[in-house]
Structure 1
Amino acid sequence: MGAAATAVGICIALAIWTGPGRAAPHSCPGDPLISVEAESPDDAAAVCAAVARARPRLDACNLHQAQPLTIRVLPQITHALTACMAQYHCHDDSISVTAPRALPSILAPDSIWRRITPQALFDSLIVHELVHAFLDQAECSGTPCLADHEYIAFALQIDALEPADQAAILDGNGIDDPDNTGRLNGFIARMDPGYFAQAAWLHFSQPDNGCAFVGDLVRGKRTLWVDPY
C-alpha cells in the first residue's frame, strides 16, 4: 500500500536498489500505461504478460488504473538492511520487484511462498503490487487502512495462481471458519503476512464475497479497520 506494503511482510518507506544502472524503460505491447525496466528481456516479457492476465480480474473487482506505472525488475530491493520481494512507490507511480532468480535467496525457510516456483511467485507479486498501485492512485496523500489494502492485494495475488499453486500456498492453514473476518486485521497483516494472505484468499473465495466484497472495500462501504483502543 503506498510506500508501505509488500508481499513479504512490510517494508516501510522507500525501497532502495544498490546495483548497476537501470535498463531503459519500454511500454508493454498494447498497454501504453505500463512501462517496464528490466535487464532481462524474459523478465520484461513476464511482467507484461502478468499485467495482461491480471487486468480483467482487477477490472472485475473495481480496481482501475488512473495513471501510468513503471515496473522495475531489480536484482536487490532493500530497506533498513531488510530484503523485500516487491514494493509500490506512491511518490512516482512505480513498482519495484525482485527478479525471479533472486527471490529464493530472500525468502524465510518457512515462508509459504517457497511452496511455488520463483516464476509463479514473481508473476503473483506483479498482481499484488498492481492492486496497491491502483488503490493508491485514487488518493496518494490519504492514509488507507492497511488491512483493507493487504486483504485485496493478497486475495488477488493468490487468486491469480494456478490451482495447484493455490493448494500449496494454503496447505496447513488451519482455518476452519474462512468467512470470519476477525483475523483480517492490520496487526496480523504485519506480524504474520503469510497467515494473513491465506486467510484473505479463503475469505475472498467464499460465496457472496469475492469481487463484491472487494468492491465494498474499494468504495468505502466496508472496512477491516479495527480501532486499537
Structure 2
Amino acid sequence: MLSLTIANGANAASEVCPEIDVTAVADDPAVRRMICAAASEKAKALAACNIRVPTPLRITATTDLPVDCAGLYDCQTKEILVATPDHLASIARPDRPLRFLSPDLEFASVIAHEMTHAAYDRVPCPFENCLATTEYLAYAMQIQTLPPAARAAVTSNFTYDRDISRDEINPVFLLMAPDKFSQKAWLHLSQRDAPCEFVDQIMRGNIHFDVEHPF
C-alpha cells in the first residue's frame, strides 16, 4: 500500500542494519533483526531486476496501521511501516493469496512490496497518479522475490491460469479486487519474454498502466 503521512514508531527502539543503510525500528529486538535480514535480502533481489531501493531508509514494525493494512510507504518521511509479525497474523484473511507462506516469509514479502514503492516513488508520473503502475510492480515483485518453493506454493493456487492481457492491469480493477489484481500483476510480468527488462522500462517511466481519467 502507498500512503502519505502517518506518524509512527517514535518511542520504539531502533538499530542500524549491518548490511544495508536501513534503520530498523521495533520494540522487539528479534523483529529488528527480521527487518534487517529482509531488507538486505529483498534489496539485492530487487536490484537484480532493475529496481534500486533508495537508502538511507527507515523501516518500522508497528500495530498502528489502517484497518487490514499490512504495510505502507510514507512518501513524505521516506519511511516504510510494516505490521509486526504478530499483528500481520491477526489481520490476515484466510483466503489471501499469501496464505501459504510462513509468518516470517510473509513479513519479509511485505517489506519487498513497500521497498518497491520506495523505489518507484522517484519515477515521474505523467498522470494525476500512477497507482496501477506502482501497485503492479509492488505486487509482482512481492511474489517474484519469494524463495522459489514458496513462490510456487503461492502461484499454484492462483485463481487464474491463462495469459493476462495488458488491458486487465488497470486502476479500476485494482480498487475493486486488489487480491486478484496482485495475481494478474505477477502472471503478466512472468509472461513477458524478458521480465526484468520490462521492469527496467517501468522504472525508466516508459511503461504505465494508468490513464488520465480512469473513473
Normalised to the residue count of structure 1, the TM-score between the two structures is: 0.82
Q: Sort the Cα spacing of 1:66 and 1:167 in 2 relative to 1 into closer, same or farther, 3 A.
A: closer
What are the superposed Cα offsets for residues 166-194 of structure 1, whole Å, 9 maximum, x if unpaired?
2332214223113x222111112222111
Percent identical pairs in the alignment equals 34
**Structure 1 residues 210 and 50: alpha-carbon distance in aligned structure 2, compared to 1, 3 A threshold:** same
Counterpart position of 2:163: 177
Equivalent residue letter for 1:176: R
- Paired residue secondary structure (1:112): coil
AA in 1 matched with 2:142: Q
Q: Which residue of 2 aligns with 1:35?
A: 23
How much does 1:198 deviate? 1.1
**Counterpart check, 1:22 vs 2:20:** no
Using the TM superposition, name which of 65-74 and 148-157 deviates more. Answer: 65-74
Deviation at 1:131, TM superposition (A): 0.6
1:204 is paired with a residue whose SS is helix
Per-residue deviation, 1:150: 0.8
TM-score by length of 2: 0.87
What value does the CA root-mean-square deviation take over the aligned residues? 2.4
1:197 aligned to 182, 185, 205, which one? 182
Deviation, 1:37, is 0.5
| Cα distance, 1:137 vs structure 2 | 4.0
- State which of 89, 102, 110 in structure 1 corresponds to 2:95: 110
**Match for residue 138 of structure 2 among 148, 153, 178:** 153
8 Å contact 1:128–1:156 — kept in the other structure? yes
Partner Cα separation in structure 2 for residue 136 and residue 195 of structure 1: 23
Whichever residue aligns with residue 65 of structure 2, its letter is T
Counterpart of 2:41 (choices 53, 70, 76) is 53
Task: Report how far residue 157 of structure 1 moved.
Answer: 0.5
**Unmatched runs of 5 consecutive residues or more in structure 1:** 4-12
CA–CA distance in structure 2, aligned partners of residues 93 and 192 of structure 1: 27
Instruction: In structure 2, list runs of 5 or more residues that go unmatched.
Output: none
